[in-house]
Structure 1
Amino acid sequence: MSPVPSPTSDRPSDYLAADAVVDHDHPAIHALLGTLQPASDDPAARAEAAYLFVRDEIEHVIDAGDPRVTWRASDVLRQRVGICHAKAHLLAALLRAQGIPAGFCYQELSALHGLNAVHLHGRWSRLDARGNRTGARGEFSLDEEKLAWPVDSARGERDLPEIHLAPSAVVVDFLMTAEPGPGWYEKGLPRTL
């Protein structure tokens, strides 16, 4: 059973900030938002359009066998590739640029897996835009969790319930210092926060 998402701040507005990683004030972020076609102007429809773009249009480096390393949201968008954490940075930027509070969540699987939480309809829901190749099954849902990977507690895996305001420093530091090349993510991707 998944944990109940637990925000580290009680104010959803705290989950709208831009920074060096979630640079939602970047012109490319706003240009993309102008091209997305949500089903309606409802915030949930706009969130779903952003989610589907990140999940389906941004390649996951492992699935694509791509040697590039991205970490800043605008760079993930420009290069159209990123590991789960980088894709979560872009999704947060796309949501926050629209005034939709978004945070960062983690799972301890074989390595630390990054995903998002979004605040809509008065509550938090976790979303995983990792990409649905190689067995992953993430879907947009505000009513029930449909994350890319189920947690197997028998293998020592666990969901971390916290919704962080900013991406984990350990993840950002790793991504900023990783050397591009084949299998770069195998060389020290954090296993825990």
Structure 2
Amino acid sequence: MDLTPFLATSTVIDSDHPSVRRLAESARRQDQLATIQATYEIARDKFAHSYDIDAMEVSISASDVIRHGHGICFAKAHLLAALLRSNGIPAGLCYQKLARNHQRPAGTCLHGLNAVWFEGCWRRLDPRGNKPTTDVPFDPNYERLAYTIDVARGERDYRDVLAEPLHSVLKALHGSRTVFELARNLPPDRS
């Protein structure tokens, strides 16, 4: 498998941005697993999920998340991918289709998370951030994600790993002036 695209920098996964490089360096440890864990915990815990703190700014790139101090799931996934890539660890993006719980508009929306290449395979990590109803500890041997898929509610787990964000995700992020507007513009699925 060619992992080159999963190490590349881009405008969204801006692993070469000075603020991203500094933060990635602070997470670097003696071995790869410890670096992955430290990086994951920084992305999950140091940067709030925008909805949890009623933030207004829409973060898109990894450096945006660092500058604003928060991001929704997509932006936090961009941050984790950029930090890992900055340390030479292949990382990609994954998506889940989730049913909206008591939100308007009703229906489904995408949720963004990550995959990291470790010991010859992809391992998914969800940097969404912990809250009273969501606990996502780091576990290299068992997949722990923020959301469990309920197929009966129309939810779906997409298992593929992408090097760059979906066009529909970028369109929603770029087309929203506030996080509250973004909540109405979230893509309902991968199409």
Aligned to 1:67: 56
Q: Deviations over 1:82-139 (max 9, x none)?
A: 0000000000000000010000000000210000000011111000000011522222
Amino acid of the structure 2 residue aligned with 1:135: T
User: 1:73, CA displacement in angstroms?
Assistant: 0.8
Amino acid of the structure 1 residue aligned with 2:86: A
Contact kept in structure 2, 1:22 and 1:90, CA below 8 Å: yes
Unmatched runs of 5 consecutive residues or more in structure 2: 100-108
Aligned to 1:192: 189
Corresponding residue SS for 1:20? coil
Distance in 1, matches of 2:69 and 2:151, equals 33
Structure 1 stretches of 4+ moved >3 Å: none
Contact kept in structure 2, 1:102 and 1:116, CA below 8 Å: yes
User: 1:28, CA displacement in angstroms?
Assistant: 0.6
Please tell me whether residue 77 in structure 1 is matched to residue 66 in structure 2.
Answer: yes
Corresponding residue SS for 1:161? strand
Aligned residues: 181
Corresponding residue SS for 1:41? coil
CA RMSD of aligned residues (A): 1.3
Aligned to 1:7: none
Amino acid of the structure 2 residue aligned with 1:27: P
Contact kept in structure 1, 2:97 and 2:111, CA below 8 Å: yes
TM-score when normalising by structure 1: 0.89
Residue of structure 2 aligned with 1:137, choices 135, 138, 144: 135
Distance in 2, matches of 1:103 and 1:176, equals 20
Corresponding residue SS for 1:133? coil
Distance in 2, matches of 1:20 and 1:65, equals 26
Identity of aligned residues (%): 42
Alignment of 1:113-128 (within 5 A): 113-128=111-126
